[in-house]
Structure 1
Amino acid sequence: MRFRRDEGPFTRLFRWVVLTGNRQHVTAVVLLVGYVLAAPVGHALLPHGHHLGGRDATVPLLNTMLSGTFLIFSIVVSINSLFVSGEQNPLDQQFGRVQSVVEFRRQLEGVVDEEHVPASPGPLVRTLSGEILERAQRLEDDIATADIDARENVSAYVDDLAAETGRMNEGIDGASSPLDVTVAMMNYNHDRQINDLRRIRAEHADALSPSAEEAIDELLRLLQYFAAARQYFKTLYTKSEFASLSRWLVLASVPAVALTATFLHYLAWVPESHLLVAAIEAISFAPFLLVASYVLRVTTVSRQTSAAGQFAATDGSRGAIDGIEGD
């Protein structure tokens, strides 16, 4: 799944539903569309629409939804508890995690030859991508006197790298959360970049000067730092997303259960109304749609940011360089 800036209306809508849209807004829109289709539109189109509000169909459905709400609430709370329990580590492990982040920044500062790299996700990714592109352009300059095949392959590699960097930086502009940065980094295929770079070095070893070899080594290190940073930001996003899901699920489930139970309790005194029954059914679906919207985004981000190390495992793993595609 790759999104472009010149995408059409349907693709933008799909992107909003799957990735960029506020999960509560997505849930509300889907509920509203479902209610409109099931209530006024369905009631007008179906020849026996008034029977949809019959108790024989309504009561079993609402009872099932009520039981399902309790079940899905328990499952989500249990999953969130696993994330919370993962944070309850001894002091030495907590200190080790902090040390690993500090050491990562220190090593990265040594590679990019700067005294300080940004702490915010967006500026840090921009710094990394800028350094990667600069090293790639330096490699292109270093092989200016090499054979034509080596120059063409490196030039194609740099062009592809520059295009991916540009698209990613457009997405990072205005990013304010780990989600924004992670979504922007999704289409930056560092696995393929690493694979292509290693193939260039293997197939044109005789044409590479010592400075070109050094540039390739630095590029590989920077791409590995990029991969580690993306996985770290994805972890932060996933924890935040499940915490948000748990909070909003409570806010959605309690009213849904209360309204559904009240409707069932006073069903004998409720006037027969297709619109009212459809509204109660839509409300009972709210917790399920909320969970579905969160799970859809988490799984999409996880799939698009899967790390394969030295292997190019994503759908877009084939290289843009003639003769250096992923095997």
Structure 2
Amino acid sequence: MAEASDDGSADEYTFPQLSNGLGSVLENPFEWFFLLEKRTVIAGALLSGFLVFFLSLELLLGMTHEQMVPLFYIFSALIGGNLTLITIVLSINQLVISQHLNSPGGLREEIQGVNEYREAVEETLTEGVAPVTPSDFLEMLLDSAQQSVESADEKSDEVVDDEAAEQLSAFLDDTERNIGHARRVLERSDVGLFNALSVTLKTNYSQEIYRIRDIQTTYGDALSDELDDLLEELIVRIQQLDVARQYFKTLYLQDELAYLSRMLLYVGIPAELTALTMLLVFAASTQPILAPTTLAVVVPVAITLAAAPLAILFAFVLRISVVAQRTAAITPFTTSSQEQERELATTADSDD
């Protein structure tokens, strides 16, 4: 079975390495933009673009700000827009959080469900107790799946049907490469909740299970009973990985929405104060209070600061939506977007 290189050159993609990020810079810039852990970097870059754009307009159009009324309306609109945006996002966040508030009986049922899943995982593992951190738990599941793949690969030499052996070998190679990539990322990074989730976003577990079922159905006579049992064991491992991914997604969304609300409050109050200050300045007189050269700098900076909540919302919601889309379906089903991701990953891998 082909092994992925130690330097990660055979990986489908890697995540960015920041102070506490993952991997090296993404080969796909769109993936870097969508899934970069530091969302404040994306928001800051967007605001920098706003500032450059507005300053360029000042320079190219030669605005003198002799008329204060248009600026008065601009900052009035920013004040109202920010208040509406912050209020709506906070309301949505409170709605999401309220769905997870429960009575003691409900909480006990939820805890019992999670414990039953952990116990089911522990029954299939050599370790006595499963870890409690998402990254360690996921790494344990990946190690278990890797062992199942290696055991099936050892028995694949017994398959006498050439076509069956080729299909099985191709599947095991693809699965081992995906598992190996995820394990290397988890081992070399300071992995948090999102990073543990992110290494599974490109894997289509439904398709992996389908490929196993298809091999078992099409070439069942060519597979030994022991090999068939190993493939069934691998299906169980993959299902456990999918359950873990969905649960980590739930935890991530709760944590991310709470963090987004806090960031909007941190940024929204200074943005509103900036817009209100400019509004009062322009309302004080119909004539320019500041010199034209000063206004040419102050106005673009003030507009950029007032637009900060929009940049924060864009950066965070963009990643939330991408994660939700790529994990929308659970096994045994899949979605068109997940299929497209799988095809893109397969194409990129074949090009390498």
Under a length normalisation based on structure 2, what TM-score does the superposition of the two structures give? Answer: 0.83
Cα distance, 1:142 vs structure 2: 2.3
CA distance in 2, matches of 1:263, 1:319: 48
- Does 1:243 pair with 2:262? no
Equivalent position to 2:234, from 197, 211, 219: 219
Cα distance, 1:180 vs structure 2: 0.8
In structure 2, relative to structure 1, the CA distance for the partners of 1:19 and 1:168 (3 Å cut) is same
Counterpart in 1 of 2:169?
155
Counterpart in 1 of 2:322?
300
CA distance in 2, matches of 1:155, 1:26: 41
In structure 2, relative to structure 1, the CA distance for the partners of 1:308 and 1:279 (3 Å cut) is same
CA distance in 2, matches of 1:223, 1:264: 58
Question: For structure 1, which segment, 169-178 or 185-194, has the greater mean C-alpha deviation from structure 2 after superposition?
Answer: 169-178
Equivalent position to 1:278, from 292, 300, 318: 300
In structure 2, relative to structure 1, the CA distance for the partners of 1:17 and 1:114 (3 Å cut) is same
Equivalent position to 1:32, from 28, 48, 58: 48
Q: Equivalences for 1:97-176 in 2 at 5 Å? A: 97-146=110-159, 147-173=161-187, 174-176=189-191
CA contact (8 A) 1:253 1:287 kept: yes
Counterpart in 1 of 2:268?
253
Aligned amino acid, residue 230 of structure 2? A
After superposition, the C-alpha distances for 1:66-106 in whole angstroms (9 at most, x for unaligned) are 11111111111111111221232111110111111111111
Aligned amino acid, residue 276 of structure 2? A
Equivalent position to 1:288, from 293, 307, 310: 310
Counterpart in 2 of 1:324?
none
CA distance in 2, matches of 1:162, 1:108: 20
Aligned amino acid, residue 312 of structure 2? L
Aligned amino acid, residue 4 of structure 1? Y
Q: Equivalences for 1:185-224 in 2 at 5 Å? A: 185-224=200-239
Q: Equivalences for 1:9-24 in 2 at 5 Å? A: 14-24=30-40
Stretches of structure 2 that go unaligned for 5 or more consecutive residues are 1-10, 17-23, 347-352
CA distance in 2, matches of 1:181, 1:10: 16
Q: Secondary structure at the match of 1:112?
A: coil
Equivalent position to 2:13, from 1, 4, 7: 4
Counterpart in 1 of 2:5?
none
CA distance in 1, matches of 2:66, 2:314: 26
- Does 1:91 pair with 2:91? no
CA contact (8 A) 2:138 2:241 kept: yes
CA contact (8 A) 1:43 1:49 kept: yes
Cα distance, 1:317 vs structure 2: 4.2
CA distance in 2, matches of 1:282, 1:276: 10
Q: Secondary structure at the match of 1:176?
A: coil
CA distance in 1, matches of 2:240, 2:66: 59
Identity of aligned residues (%): 24
Equivalent position to 2:79, from 48, 51, 66: 66
CA distance in 2, matches of 1:212, 1:185: 26
Cα distance, 1:307 vs structure 2: 2.5
Q: Secondary structure at the match of 2:199?
A: helix
- Does 1:311 pair with 2:333? yes
CA contact (8 A) 2:149 2:176 kept: no
Counterpart in 2 of 1:233?
248
Counterpart in 2 of 1:325?
none
RMSD value, Cα: 2.5
Question: For structure 1, which segment, 15-24 or 188-197, has the greater mean C-alpha deviation from structure 2 after superposition?
Answer: 15-24
Cα distance, 1:293 vs structure 2: 0.7
Counterpart in 1 of 2:279?
264
Cα distance, 1:306 vs structure 2: 2.6
Aligned amino acid, residue 53 of structure 2? L
Cα distance, 1:107 vs structure 2: 0.5
Counterpart in 1 of 2:92?
79
CA distance in 1, matches of 2:186, 2:342: 23
Cα distance, 1:213 vs structure 2: 1.9
CA distance in 1, matches of 2:104, 2:213: 41
CA contact (8 A) 1:192 1:319 kept: no
Q: Tell me the matched-pair count.
A: 317
CA distance in 2, matches of 1:317, 1:36: 38
Under a length normalisation based on structure 1, what TM-score does the superposition of the two structures give? Answer: 0.89
CA distance in 2, matches of 1:18, 1:290: 14
Counterpart in 1 of 2:349?
none
In structure 2, relative to structure 1, the CA distance for the partners of 1:197 and 1:284 (3 Å cut) is same
**Runs of 4+ in structure 1 over 6 Å off:** 6-10
After superposition, the C-alpha distances for 1:135-165 in whole angstroms (9 at most, x for unaligned) are 1222232242221111111111111011111
CA contact (8 A) 1:122 1:175 kept: no
Q: Secondary structure at the match of 1:87?
A: coil
After superposition, the C-alpha distances for 1:247-290 in whole angstroms (9 at most, x for unaligned) are 11111111111111111112136314111111111111001111
